Amino acid sequence: MKIAILPGDGIGPEIVEQARRVLEVLRGEGLPIETESAPMGGAGYDAARDPLPPATLRLAEQADAVLLGAVGGPQYDVLPRELRPEQGLLRIRRALSLFANLRPALLYPELAAASTLKTEVVSGLDLMIIRELTGDIYFGQPRGRRKSAAGDDEGFDTMHYSVAEVQRIARVGFETARRRGRRLCSVDKANVLDTSILWRETVSALAGEYPDVALSHMYVDNAAMQLVRNPKQFDVIVTGNLFGDILSDEASMLAGSIGMLPSASLDARQKGLYEPIHGSAPDIAGQDRANPLATILSLAMMFRYTFGRADVADRIEGAVRRVLAQGHRTGDLAMPGERAIGTRAMGDAVVAALRGG
- b/e map of 128-166 (b: 16 or more CB within 10 Å)? bbbbbbbbbbbeeeeeeeeeeeeeeeeeeeebbbeeebb
List the catalytic residue out of 126, 138, 267, 288: 138
Give the residue ranges of DSSP H helices in the chain.
12-28, 42-48, 54-62, 85-95, 119-122, 163-179, 194-206, 220-229, 241-254, 293-305, 310-325, 343-356
Residue 67 within binding range of ligand NAD, rule CB under 6 A: no
3-class SS of residue 136:
helix
- Could you tell me which of 236, 306, 276 has the C-alpha nearest to residue 14? 276
Active site residue 221: yes
Task: Give, as ranges, the residues between 14 and 43 that touch ligand NAD (CB under 6 A).
Answer: 15
CB of 68 to ligand NAD, least distance (A): 7
Task: Give, as ranges, the residues between 283 and 322 that touch ligand NAD (CB under 6 A).
Answer: 283-284, 290-291, 294
List the catalytic residue out of 9, 188, 189, 271: 189
3-class SS of residue 6:
strand
3-class SS of residue 133:
coil
Active site residue 189: yes
Residue 332 within binding range of ligand NAD, rule CB under 6 A: yes
Task: Summarize the chain as % helix, strand, coil (round to 5).
Answer: 45, 20, 35
Residue 86 within binding range of ligand NAD, rule CB under 6 A: yes
Residue 328 within binding range of ligand NAD, rule CB under 6 A: no
Question: Which stretch in 64-72, 124-132, 134-142, 156-164 sits in contact with ligand NAD by CB under 6 A?
Answer: 64-72
Active site residue 249: yes
Nearer to ligand NAD, 317 or 332 (CB): 332
Nearer to ligand NAD, 223 or 281 (CB): 281
Give the residue ranges of DSSP H helices in 71-219.
85-95, 119-122, 163-179, 194-206
Nearer to ligand NAD, 43 or 215 (CB): 43
Residue from 40, 60, 70, 273 binding ligand NAD (CB under 6 A): 70
Q: Angle at the Cα of 276 (from 173 to 6), degrees rounded to 5?
A: 110
List the catalytic residue out of 46, 221, 283, 314: 221
Residue 6 within binding range of ligand NAD, rule CB under 6 A: no
CB of 303 to ligand NAD, least distance (A): 21
Going from the C-alpha of 148 to that of each of 89, 141, 143, 165, the distances in angstroms are 35, 18, 14, 32
CB of 15 to ligand NAD, least distance (A): 6
Nearer to ligand NAD, 100 or 215 (CB): 100
Active site residue 194: no
Task: Give, as ranges, the residues between 249 and 288 that touch ligand NAD (CB under 6 A).
Answer: 258-259, 275, 278-284
Q: Rounded to whole angstroms, how far apart are CA atoms 44 and 60?
A: 14
Nearer to ligand NAD, 195 or 291 (CB): 291
Question: Is beta strand 272-276 parallel, antiparallel or unpaired with respect to 65-70?
Answer: parallel
Active site residue 232: no
- Could you tell me which of 72, 15, 13 has the C-alpha nearest to residue 38? 13
CB of 19 to ligand NAD, least distance (A): 12
CB of 263 to ligand NAD, least distance (A): 9
- Could you tell me which of 119, 231, 233 has the C-alpha nearest to residue 181? 233
Q: Rounded to whole angstroms, how far apart are CA atoms 13 and 27?
A: 20
Could you please report the per-residue DSSP string of 230-255? -GGG-SEEEE-HHHHHHHHHHHHHHT
Question: Which stretch in 19-27, 66-74, 297-305, 307-315 sits in contact with ligand NAD by CB under 6 A?
Answer: 66-74
List the catalytic residue out of 77, 249, 283, 314: 249
Q: Give the active site residues.
A: 138, 189, 221, 245, 249
Interaction site with ligand NAD (CB under 6 A): 11, 15, 70-73, 86, 89, 258-259, 275, 278-284, 290-291, 294, 332
